[in-house]
């Protein structure tokens, strides 16, 4: 595994190829608006929508070929309308694509990941809905498995975001876990900061008692506190090397009825953050809470855009 100190000195390239995964939902519209503000004129951009295979949506016994054909036409029409609506937001011509799952194997998740890989996207942007809808795929059923499997960074904008998506972030919160991955995520997230942007880095000391703990609670807490202090010191040095300053804080979970994702989102709300940045594929001792589960659960809770930043060079080493 890479040394966090080495990550402090490594260069991070700004996002250069941004792929928007869209459907007809308001969540997608907000995500596209945010991507427009962040990346128009700064990166190559494209939008893709996926039309489901109607055979996977309806009971076969209740359908006819004519019904399936009509359903496929409607799904394709909705997907085309979605990408056209998103393309209209962007100056110039936005590259677009519609994937027809009735003509290929796999599901929406695999289609998006395959497209991102083929297009060599270094960032995938999605909307997220915190409730279920019959045919709405930009929600947990898609965003969560994409979060776990994506090889690129992922920017997720919730439909109910409490911050506007028509401006760049003014208050960015970085959640660290002591790994080189989270420090790399810090460097990646700094590309969204201007000279006026306020920055805050936190490390969560997990005080909650877990069934899988194999060491005394006091010993674990002491290890977490020491790791957190080192991580926050490194974060402060990284930020200073970019000519900026950031406040840092060790925060704690409650003893019972609490976990790391709730603590992160709680701090984001109290500090009034308008962008939350976390690293993926990091490790934190026995718990390993940034392997994906914390990132996924944080997405479910957050009411701000969340950047799940992945450092490709580090991921290849772990």
Q: Which of 146, 269, 286, 91 is nearest to 206 (CA)?
A: 286
Cα Rg, the chain, nearest whole Å: 20
Q: Is the pLDDT of residue 224 over 60?
A: yes
Residues 6 or more apart whose Cβ sits within 8 Å of residue 53: 72, 101, 102
Domains identified in the chain and CATH numbers: 17-158 (3.40.50.620), 168-315 (3.40.50.620)
Question: What is the model's pLDDT at position 285?
Answer: 43
**What is the pLDDT confidence band of residue 222, given thresholds at 50, 70 and 90?**
confident
Question: What is the model's pLDDT at position 289?
Answer: 42
| DSSP letter, residue 107 | -
Q: Tell me the average pLDDT across 214-233.
A: 78
Question: What is the model's pLDDT at position 3?
Answer: 47
Among 28-42, 51-65, 78-92, 110-124, which is the least confidently predicted range? 51-65
Q: Tell me the average pLDDT across 286-296.
A: 55
The model's pTM is 0.86
Of 249 and 217, the one with more pLDDT: 249
Q: Is the pLDDT of residue 138 over 50?
A: no
Question: What is the model's pLDDT at position 60?
Answer: 63
243 Rama class: left (phi>0) / alpha (psi -120 to 50) / beta: left
Q: How many Cβ atoms from other residues are within 10 Å of residue 131's Cβ? A: 9
Question: What is the model's pLDDT at position 7?
Answer: 46
Residues 6 or more apart whose Cβ sits within 8 Å of residue 134: none
Q: Which of 251, 249, 246, 228 is nearest to 236 (CA)?
A: 246
Of 168 and 299, the one with more pLDDT: 168
Burial of 262 (0-12, 13-18, 19+ CB in 10 A): middle
């Amino acid at each position: 595994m890479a040394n966090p100190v080495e990550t402090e000195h490594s260069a991070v390239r700004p996002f250069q190829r941004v792929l928007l995964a869209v459907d007809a939902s308001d969540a997608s519209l907000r995500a596209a608006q945010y991507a427009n503000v962040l990346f128009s004129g700064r990166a190559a951009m494209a939008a893709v929508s996926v039309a489901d295979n109607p055979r996977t949506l309806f009971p076969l016994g209740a359908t006819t070929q004519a019904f399936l054909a009509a359903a496929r036409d409607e799904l394709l029409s909705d997907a085309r309308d979605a990408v056209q609506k998103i393309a209209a937001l962007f100056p110039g011509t936005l590259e677009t694509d519609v994937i027809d799952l009735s003509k290929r194997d796999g599901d929406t998740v695999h289609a998006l990941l395959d497209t991102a890989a083929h297009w060599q996207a270094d960032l995938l942007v999605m909307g997220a809905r915190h409730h279920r809808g019959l045919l709405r795929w930009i929600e947990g059923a898609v965003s969560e498995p994409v979060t776990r499997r994506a090889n690129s960074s992922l920017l997720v904008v919730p439909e109910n975001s409490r911050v506007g998506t028509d401006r760049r972030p003014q208050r960015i919160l970085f959640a660290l876990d002591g790994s080189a991955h989270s420090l790399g995520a810090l460097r990646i997230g700094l590309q969204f900061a201007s000279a006026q942007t306020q920055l805050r880095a936190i490390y969560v000391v997990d005080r909650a008692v877990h069934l899988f703990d194999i060491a005394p609670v006091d010993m674990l807490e002491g290890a977490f506190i020491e790791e957190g202090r080192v991580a926050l010191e490194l974060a402060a040095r990284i930020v200073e090397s970019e000519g900026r300053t950031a406040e840092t804080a060790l925060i704690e979970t409650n003893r019972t009825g609490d976990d790391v994702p709730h603590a992160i989102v709680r701090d984001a709300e109290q500090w009034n953050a308008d962008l939350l940045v976390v690293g993926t594929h990091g490790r934190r001792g026995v718990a390993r809470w940034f392997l994906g589960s914390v990132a996924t659960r944080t997405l479910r809770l957050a009411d701000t855009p969340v950047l799940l930043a992945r450092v490709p060079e580090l991921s290849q080493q772990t």
